[in-house]
Amino acid sequence: MEQAEKELDGKPQLFEIPLEVLLEMSKVRMANIKKYDRENRLKPIKASLLFDATLRHMLAWYQGIDNDSSTGCNHMTHALYNLAMLYRDWE
């Protein structure tokens, strides 16, 4: 059977983002819900706090420490999640 055509020019190709990265970021989110309340993510956070946390996680990763001791999630994933939150609040 011939498949229908769909115009994709200029539209985001979300399948190009590695799904394993999104899944790992969601684990960080779920760990944050345990630490803070679910609605906490809706509140703005100072960019300096997110940037500082990102640098701490990247430094830990660079030093060979794979996972955050309080969440069990990978430090790189924590950094990515923090950058996503930083981007969300960037104006």
Distance between terminal CA atoms of the chain? 48
pLDDT in tens, 17-55: 899 999 999 999 999 888 888 888 778 788 999 999 999
pTM of the model: 0.82
Q: Pick from 91, 73, 90: which is nearest to 25 by CA?
A: 73
Residue 12 DSSP symbol: -
Packing angle, helices 19-35 and 75-89, rounded to 10: 80
Packing angle, helices 47-62 and 75-89, rounded to 10: 160
Residue 38 DSSP symbol: G
Whether the pLDDT of residue 91 is over 70: the answer is no
